[in-house]
Chain A
Amino acid sequence: MTTITADRAPMAGMKVYHLKLGMWVFLLSEVMFFTGLIGAYVILRFAHPEAFGVPGEVLNVPLTAFNTFVLICSSVTMVKAFAAIEQNDQQGLQKWLLATIVLGASFVGVQAWEYTLLFSEGFVPMAESYHAIARGAAEGSEVIGGPLYGATFYTMTGFHGAHVSIGVFCLCFTLWRARKGAYTAGNLGGVEIMGLYWHFVDLVWILLFTFVYLI
């Protein structure tokens, strides 16, 4: 939301411009949103350890590890985009923004593919039709975990995926503005707060990957 607001000059004596402060404040509330989801997951998992599978049993860890790598790379390209506009390098800004968009969209694409695979294996959020089996096991094998596993998995990764998708959308908007020459070395607030959001989404994913896939 905040990315759309036009840049406004900082008041005299203020160390941070409004957009950047506003983004940091907004990210605080995002922290609380994911804290709520992860906290609920932790409580449910402690209360019902039998409803969750061991790492790698149902979920495809190597595929998601690759996806995590993609997202981390997108953070690097975002940094490169910001570094480029700091040098007033318009070409570099557009190039690295485009790279970030491609990487971010790839992450969402791989996640969507992962979802379809998991759905076909019976790993679904709906409590009544949950019948996840181990990866590679024959049809009709023992069901692993319970409905809470599917529900928490899709809720946490799904809301994160939604954040990445919104981020990609905002990145496209930033690129569109960059192509119109909206940013300069002296006016790069829009790129900087885009970067803040993007790094936050990346950081959340590292936590989620650890909690959901690795532990």
Chain B
Amino acid sequence: MSTTEKDIASAVDAGGQHDHHEIPWIRKYVFATDHKMIAKQFMFVSLFFLVVGGALAGMMRFQLGFPGQPMPGAGILPDAMMAPTPNGAIMLPEFYNSLVTMHGTIMIFFAIMPLLVGLFGNLLIPLQIGAEDMAFPRLNMASFWLAVPAGMLMLASFAVEGGAAGAGWTSYAPLSTSGEWTGVYLGQQLWLVSLTILGFSSLIGAVNYITTVINLRAPGMTWFRIPLATWSLFVTAVLILLAIPILAGALLMLLFDQTIGTGFFRPDVGGEPLLWQHLFWFFGHPEVYILILPAMGITSEVLSNRARKPIFGYHSMVLALISIGFLGWIVWGHHMFQSGMNPLLGTSFMISTMAIAVPSAIKTFNWLGTLWKADIHFDVPMLHALSFVSMFIIGGLSGIFMASTPVDIYIHDTYFIVAHLHYVLFGGSLFAIFAGITYWFPKMFGRMMNEPLGKVHFVLTFIFYNLVFFPMHNLGLQGMMRRIYDFTQYDFLQPLQPMNQFITLFAFALITTQVLFVINFFWSIFKGETAGNNPWNSNTLEWTVPSPPPHGNFAQMPTVFRGPYEYSSPESDDDFLPQTTPPREGPGPSSGVPAPTPTPEGAEV
């Protein structure tokens, strides 16, 4: 292995002439060290988990739309999940608990997070900063190959006795400390072990990203010339680096409570259940930003490019990313207003939480400022990016309801929370992921995705998505609690049955619509229109290399002269100005970000 390393190193020394000696198939596609291949591996695995998570959600929605009715086709599931009756199989409450838990866990840890961080982190960081690969390619491979067994353990937990974990994705103690309460023994332990392994995978990924961004930038790529996608991934990597170890510690303590019988979180032997909530949310709130910051970065990239305008307020965008990353550490208590925590503490958490609205609003207004009077190209990535912005605003506004303690007393643990988190996680992160995949698809596979099919997929997803999740605000305000197996057991919730059926039907439509994306994705890999190096006329470094980029990315080390968003610059005859374009000869600015354009005011100076 080290000889390969030396080969690459000597090839670089020899002026970037990469030897294209044959890499064995298994090293190229399975145990790959090339960051682009690892990005694709993360993409395929996490899209698979996205499908699994969607299927779990579909089963949950069936139970909520038609409580206690036999589920078509569910007879194939074992009796431990579905109780067989003469009319068909009816879902068991224990299985519903597992569905709730595993839908959340799989979507957060095995779909959205690896898509944003594993896929885009690996794909974009080296390409956008002008590096040949990550700082530690083999560590990068280890990161992926730790995530795979973690995912397999998580899926396997459905098959063990007692079923998969059933204490919610937050696994609150004391519910999660013993199978006595949930009926799940081994499944809960597998959940803990799987997340610990996945945490280690994310951790070494983060070490790699941070080292790469600090150490491997091409000449001229100053901190304030780094594209916002890479900036957001860098801040995210710092959050992962510092948050995941806290989760690992808490998971291991909970595992000890379950296996060897320690009493950290068990009140019956003097432990503190609230300690679990503090540890979990001290990790969990930065985790929320791990799930949204890269989406913000991707959106900034797509918006600026498709609006053919410089991003409005590049520096404030970076500073807003950093301040969201920082504030994310001091707000965890807003998940615990109703936990019995000291109310005075609640007030301070309320204030710090509302402070996050400031950098978030800076970002939102900057996106709107970017769009102002712009030449907007409504292609598929842009449509998804625009819907990210609008859905993020709705999700952000409903977040302020919860941040305010008096309101939270009323809506805590209701469907209002479910609506809010799906507005930021699906409406926010997932739309940005669709934007990112369609935008960088040509760079990954050398072909464009089908535009008309992509538009149909976008429009249907956007409509069905809102029809599914917006009414949930209403359900929550009317008192329907989250994670409930059969809400019709309460008289006051029975009038909500029609609305739940409405949501369920459109949830099925939403899931079915995703087939269009899958078809488009695989069809385009093989049959899509061939893309050139730079189909979007973009400025950033990844578009200066062939699609897909060769091993080692850059034939020679690129030199960076300007910021990433100089679209429609009067300095250029085209409407874009790649970062590698040297400054114009003669009088005028030579460097500085963004490179000042020759204006009358500039001439006076």
Q: Which residues of A contact B269 (CB under 8 A)?
A: 127-128, 146-147
Q: A2-B136, A148-B263 are in contact. Are A32 and B208 (CB under 8 A)?
A: no
Q: Is the CB of A22 within 8 A of B208?
A: yes
Report if A215 contacts B (CB, 8 A): no
Report the nearest B residue to A28, measured CB to CB: B241
State which of A12, A43, A128 has its C-beta within 8 Å of the C-beta of B275: A43
Q: Which residues of A contact B208 (CB under 8 A)?
A: 22
Q: Which residues of A contact B245 (CB under 8 A)?
A: 29-30, 32-33, 35-36
Q: Is the CB of B250 within 8 A of A36?
A: yes
Mostly helix, strand, loop or mixed at chain B's interface?
helix
Q: Is the CB of B242 within 8 A of A36?
A: no
Report if A138 contacts B (CB, 8 A): no
Q: Which residues of A contact B135 (CB under 8 A)?
A: 8, 18, 21-22
A141–B230 CA distance with the chains assembled, in angstroms: 62
Q: Which residues of A contact B256 (CB under 8 A)?
A: 125, 151, 155
Q: Is the CB of B138 within 8 A of A5?
A: yes
State which of A8, A36, A47, A146 has its C-beta within 8 Å of the C-beta of B5: A8
Q: Which residues of B contact A65 (CB under 8 A)?
A: none
A151–B243 CA distance with the chains assembled, in angstroms: 23
B contacts with A, residue count (CB < 8 A): 47
A146–B269 CA distance with the chains assembled, in angstroms: 8
Tell me the B278-313 residues at the A interface (CB within 8 Å): 278-279, 282
Number of residue pairs spanning A and B whose beta carbons lie under 8 angstroms apart? 136
Q: Is the CB of A28 within 8 A of B242?
A: yes
Report if A51 contacts B (CB, 8 A): yes
Report if A40 contacts B (CB, 8 A): yes
Report if B495 contacts A (CB, 8 A): no
In this complex, the interface size class of chain A, counting residues with CB under 8 Å from chain B, is: 35 or more
A126–B264 CA distance with the chains assembled, in angstroms: 10
User: Which stretch, B117-125, B160-168, B210-218, B564-572, touches the partner chain A?
Assistant: B210-218
Report if B149 contacts A (CB, 8 A): no
Q: Which residues of B contact A51 (CB under 8 A)?
A: 270
State which of A37, A147, A151 has its C-beta within 8 Å of the C-beta of B249: A37
Q: Is the CB of B241 within 8 A of A126?
A: no
State which of A25, A33, A151 has its C-beta within 8 Å of the C-beta of B207: A25
Report the nearest A residue to B138, measured CB to CB: A5
State which of B5, B253, B266, B272 has its C-beta within 8 Å of the C-beta of A155: B253
A51–B270 CA distance with the chains assembled, in angstroms: 8
What is the distance, in angstroms, from A24's C-beta to the closest C-beta of chain B? 9
Q: Which residues of A contact B275 (CB under 8 A)?
A: 40, 43-44
Q: A2-B139, A43-B278 are in contact. Are A32 and B207 (CB under 8 A)?
A: no
Q: Is the CB of B264 within 8 A of A44?
A: yes
A184–B252 CA distance with the chains assembled, in angstroms: 40
Q: Is the CB of A151 within 8 A of B211?
A: no
State which of B215, B263, B271 has its C-beta within 8 Å of the C-beta of A18: B215
Report if B371 contacts A (CB, 8 A): no
Q: Which residues of B contact A22 (CB under 8 A)?
A: 135-136, 139, 207-208, 211
Tell me the B211-264 residues at the A interface (CB within 8 Å): 211, 214-216, 219, 241-246, 248-250, 252-253, 256, 260-264
What is the distance, in angstroms, from B18's C-beta to the closest C-beta of chain A? 16
What is the distance, in angstroms, from B219's C-beta to the closest C-beta of chain A? 7
Q: Is the CB of B5 within 8 A of A151?
A: no
Residues of chain A having any CB pair with chain B under 8 Å: 1-2, 4-6, 8-14, 16-18, 21-22, 25-26, 28-30, 32-33, 35-37, 39-40, 43-44, 47-48, 51, 125-128, 146-148, 150-152, 154-155, 159
27 A-B pairs with CB atoms under 8 Å apart are A2-B136, A2-B139, A5-B136, A6-B6, A8-B9, A13-B219, A16-B215, A21-B215, A22-B135, A22-B136, A22-B207, A29-B203, A32-B243, A33-B245, A36-B248, A36-B249, A36-B279, A40-B275, A43-B275, A44-B271, A51-B270, A127-B263, A127-B270, A147-B262, A150-B262, A151-B256, A155-B252
3 residue pairs, one from A and one from B, having the closest CB atoms: A36-B249, A33-B245, A127-B263
- Besides A40-B275, A150-B262, 11 other A-B contacts (C-beta < 8 A): A13-B219, A22-B135, A22-B208, A25-B210, A36-B282, A39-B279, A125-B260, A146-B269, A147-B263, A147-B269, A148-B271
Residues of chain B having any CB pair with chain A under 8 Å: 1-2, 5-6, 9, 135-136, 138-139, 142, 203-204, 206-208, 210-211, 214-216, 219, 241-246, 248-250, 252-253, 256, 260-264, 266, 269-272, 275, 278-279, 282
